[in-house]
């Protein structure tokens, strides 16, 4: 909230002679934060909702219905979230080019929102499935057995009975996935070449790495703080659900 020239002249621990919002206004104008917020929202919102739907459905089937491959299926989904992105980047890139070639456009999944959305969904679904599977095991089996006795279909069992009971862990996972996707730098950098399409964290990393774009460190710091505000606001609004989702599983098991 002070001019960067004043920090350079008197040091970072000196008392400011001028305090204002000039750095924030400059950050909004020079760093195109509104555009990068939009890019991030286009990627983040479908990733969170689709991941939570897939993970909850998979965890429901694995937990509530016994079949031969339910445990290997859970391990398969969980293992997918343990691979570092630097290891799987090249195979995914080659797969995208191959799929694009089949469909007549090699770059159809590269340098666009859809390619990154699919990657995040694939990587986040495994962890979310593992967490929701652990939570569903705390719900008494008698509830599911009673639903089957009453003639509930699989869809009624999932949407009407089980899904409302997962509200707390779903909100908790939604916050966690939002944080991970919002702060992701690697995939936005690796799979995007157009600056106009890049998400917030990738764009800020590029701007901060090349000081000639914005040499004023006060503006960069203000822009970084603005970029952090959405996640902070999300947590403040959902903090009660976040904490209940963390402690609900252990409490249920203790009971």
d(CA 51, CA 57): 10
Position 147 scores a pLDDT of: 81
Q: Mean pLDDT, to the nearest integer, of 79-97?
A: 86
Domain range for 46 is: 4-254
Q: Mean pLDDT, to the nearest integer, of 163-183?
A: 90
Q: What is the pLDDT of residues 198-219, one digit of tens each?
A: 898 888 776 654 444 556 788 8
Q: CA torsion angle for 4, 5, 10, 16 (degrees, to 10)?
A: -60
Range list of H helices, the chain: 4-10, 22-30, 33-64, 70-80, 85-102, 113-136, 141-149, 154-156, 163-165, 167-183, 186-191, 200-209, 217-254
d(CA 240, CA 255): 21
Q: What is the pLDDT of residues 108-154, one digit of tens each?
A: 888 889 999 999 999 999 889 988 988 888 888 788 888 888 888 88
d(CA 197, CA 203): 9
Is the pLDDT reported for residue 84 higher than 70? yes
d(CA 83, CA 129): 16
Q: Mean pLDDT, to the nearest integer, of 220-241?
A: 83
Max avg pLDDT among 48-62, 189-203, 233-247: 48-62
Position 145 scores a pLDDT of: 80
Is the pLDDT reported for residue 51 higher than 50? yes
- For the chain, the domain total comes to 1
Contact by Cβ (8 Å): 53, 61: no
Position 231 scores a pLDDT of: 85
Position 77 scores a pLDDT of: 75
Q: Mean pLDDT, to the nearest integer, of 179-204?
A: 89
CATH classification of the domain holding 81: 1.10.3720.10
Position 205 scores a pLDDT of: 74
Lowest mean pLDDT among 15-19, 47-51, 169-173: 15-19
Is the pLDDT reported for residue 235 higher than 70? yes
Contact by Cβ (8 Å): 248, 135: yes
Cα 45 to Cα 22, 66, 163, 248, distances in angstroms: 31, 33, 19, 25
Position 214 scores a pLDDT of: 59
Position 119 scores a pLDDT of: 94
- pLDDT band of residue 40 (cuts 50, 70, 90) is very high
């Amino acid at each position: 909230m002070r001019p960067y020239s004043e920090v350079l002249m008197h040091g970072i621990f000196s008392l400011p002679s001028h305090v204002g919002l000039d750095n924030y206004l400059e950050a909004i104008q020079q760093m195109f934060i509104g555009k990068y917020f939009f890019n991030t929202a286009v990627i983040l919102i479908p990733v969170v909702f689709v991941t939570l739907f897939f993970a909850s459905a998979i965890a429901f089937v694995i937990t509530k219905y016994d079949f031969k491959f339910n445990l290997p299926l859970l391990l398969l989904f969980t293992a997918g979230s343990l691979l570092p992105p630097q290891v799987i980047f090249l195979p995914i890139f080659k797969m995208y080019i191959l799929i694009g070639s089949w469909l007549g456009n090699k770059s159809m999944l590269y340098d666009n929102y859809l390619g990154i959305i699919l990657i995040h969904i694939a990587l986040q679904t495994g962890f979310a499935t593992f967490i929701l599977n652990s939570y569903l095991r705390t719900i008494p089996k008698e509830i599911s057995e009673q639903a089957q006795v009453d003639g509930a279909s699989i869809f009624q069992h999932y949407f009407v009975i089980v899904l409302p009971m997962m509200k707390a862990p779903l909100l908790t996972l939604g916050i966690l996935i939002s944080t991970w996707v919002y702060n992701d730098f690697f995939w936005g950098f690796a799979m995007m070449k157009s600056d106009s399409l890049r998400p917030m964290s990738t764009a800020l990393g590029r701007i901060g790495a090349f000081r000639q774009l914005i040499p004023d460190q006060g503006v960069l710091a203000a822009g970084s703080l603005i970029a952090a505000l959405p996640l902070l606001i999300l947590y403040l609004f959902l903090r009660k659900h976040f904490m209940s989702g963390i402690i609900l599983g252990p409490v249920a098991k203790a009971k």
